[in-house]
Amino acid sequence: MRIFIDFNFEAAHHLPHSFPDGHVNQRLHGHSFRVRVSLQGRPDPKTGLIADLGAVKTTVDSAKDALDHRYLNEIAGLELPTLETIAIWLWRRIAPDLPALAEIGIYRDSCGEGCEYQGEFETVEEAA
């Protein structure tokens, strides 16, 4: 069984090395991002919960605050802020406090794009 919490953030970035010279994504631009943090497990027989979503929200809000209305390229670990690296960055930030973490989905709904990450990669280089 899975439970989840969603949040949104607005941020700017550019991708200088991901695209050929002159590509629009090399220029500074912004997106509205939607993130889904999913936890997996069996409900505790005493509480009926996999996790307290209030406590999950507290953990997630700290990560959201670090991203919302920011220039992502200036955040340590997000110098190349693709969907993939943002998902890995979020995982590393919240996983220590959420032992039932199963997946982070990050979506740009206006573009119909997204990334879903289950934590199997330690670095972007290993993911490639």
- Is the pLDDT score of 128 beyond 80? no
pLDDT value of position 120: 77
- Is the pLDDT score of 23 beyond 80? no
- Averaged pLDDT for residues 88-113: 95
Q: Residue 125 and residue 111: Cα distance in Å, rounded?
A: 25
| Distance in angstroms between the alpha carbons of the first and the last residue of the chain | 30
Task: Provide the domain limits for residue 91.
Answer: 2-127
pLDDT value of position 127: 41
pLDDT value of position 79: 92
Q: What is the CATH number of the domain that holds 30?
A: 3.30.479.10
Residue 121 binned pLDDT confidence (cut-offs 50, 70, 90): low
**Strand blocks (E) in 26-99:** 29-40, 70-71
- Chain segment 31-76, per-residue pLDDT in tens: 999 999 999 999 999 999 999 999 999 999 999 999 999 999 999 9
12 touches 71 (CB < 8 A): yes
pTM for the structure as a whole = 0.87
pLDDT value of position 81: 94
How many C-beta atoms surround the C-beta of residue 29 within 10 A?
A: 11
Number of domains composing the chain: 1
Please state, rounded to an integer, the average pLDDT across all residues of the chain: 90
How many C-beta atoms surround the C-beta of residue 16 within 10 A?
A: 14
